[in-house]
Structure 1
Amino acid sequence: MSLSTFEKFLKSRIAEPLIDCSILKSDYSPLDLSIHNADLKAINVSSSNDLETFIWNYMKSNEVKVAYGGYLEHRGIYQRSDYFNQSNPETERNIHLGLDIWIEANTPIFAPLAGVIHSFKNNTNYGDYGPTIILKHHIDSFEFYTLYGHLSLASIQNLEVGVEVKQGAAIATLGTAEVNGDYPPHLHFQIIKDIQEYKGDYPGVSNQLDLAFYKENCPDPNLLLKLY
Structure 2
Amino acid sequence: MTNQDFTLEEWLRKHQSQFYPLVPFDAIQDRLLAMDFTDANTALTADVLNDTAAFSAYVTTQLQSAGARYGYGGYNEHRTVYSRSPHFSDAAAGGEPRRLHLGMDIWGPAGTPVYAPVSGMVHSYAYNNNPSDYGATIILSHQLDGRQFYTLYGHLSLADLALAKEGNYVVAGQLLAHFGEPHENGNWPPHLHFQVIEDIGLNEGDYPGVCRYSEREFYLRNCPNPDAIIQWQQWLG
User: Secondary structure at the residue paired with 1:49?
Assistant: helix
- Which residue does the alignment assign to 2:48? 44
| Distance change >3 Å, CA 130–CA 26, structure 1 → 2 | same
**Structure 1: stretches of 5+ with no match in the other structure:** none
- 2:34 paired with 1:27: no
Equivalent residue for 1:176, pick from 181, 191, 195: 181
RMSD: 1.8
Counterpart residue number, 2:74: 70
In the alignment, structure 1 residue 98 sits paired with structure 2 residue 103: yes
1:107-160: CA deviation from partner (whole Å, max 9, x where unpaired): 110011111100000001111000100000001121000000000110100321
Q: Is 1:109 aligned to residue 118 of structure 2?
A: no
Task: State the distance in 2 between where 1:89 and 1:191 align.
Answer: 28
Q: Percent identity?
A: 38
1:199 aligns to 2:211 (yes or no):
no
The residue aligned with 2:58 is: 54
Whole-angstrom distance in 2 between the partners of 1:159 and 1:59: 31
The runs of at least 4 aligned residues of structure 1 exceeding 3 Å deviation read 21-26, 86-90
1:127 to 103, 128, 132: 132
2:64 counterpart SS class: helix
* Structure-2 separation of matches of 1:125 and 1:152: 16
Aligned residues: 226
Select 1:8's aligned residue among 7, 10, 18. Answer: 10
Contact 2:89/2:95 (CA < 8 Å) preserved in 1? Answer: no
Give 1:83's match in structure 2, choosing from 81, 87, 103: 87
| Structure 1 contact 90–208 (Cα < 8 Å) conserved | no
- Describe the SS at the equivalent of 2:43: helix
Q: Whole-Å Cα distance in 1 between the matches of residues 53 and 90 of structure 2?
A: 25
Indicate how the Cα distance of structure 1 residues 142 and 90 shifts in structure 2: closer, same or farther if over 3 A, else same: farther
Q: Secondary structure at the match of 1:105?
A: coil
Q: Which amino acid aligns with 1:56?
A: T
Q: Distance in 2 between matches of 1:70 and 1:22?
A: 21
Give 1:43 deviation, angstroms.
Answer: 5.5
Aligned to 2:21: 17
Unaligned runs of 5+ residues in structure 2 are none
Q: 2:123 aligns with which of 118, 125, 134?
A: 118
Q: Indicate which of 146, 151, 157 corresponds to 1:152.
A: 157
Amino acid at match of 2:12: L
Q: Which has the higher helix share?
A: 2
Relative to the length of structure 1, the TM-score reads 0.93
Once the two structures are superposed, residues 2-47 of structure 1 have per-residue CA deviations (whole angstroms, 9 ceiling, x without a partner) of x953211111222211111446574212111111223324852122
Give TM-score scaled by structure 2 length.
Answer: 0.90
| AA at the equivalent of 1:143 | Q
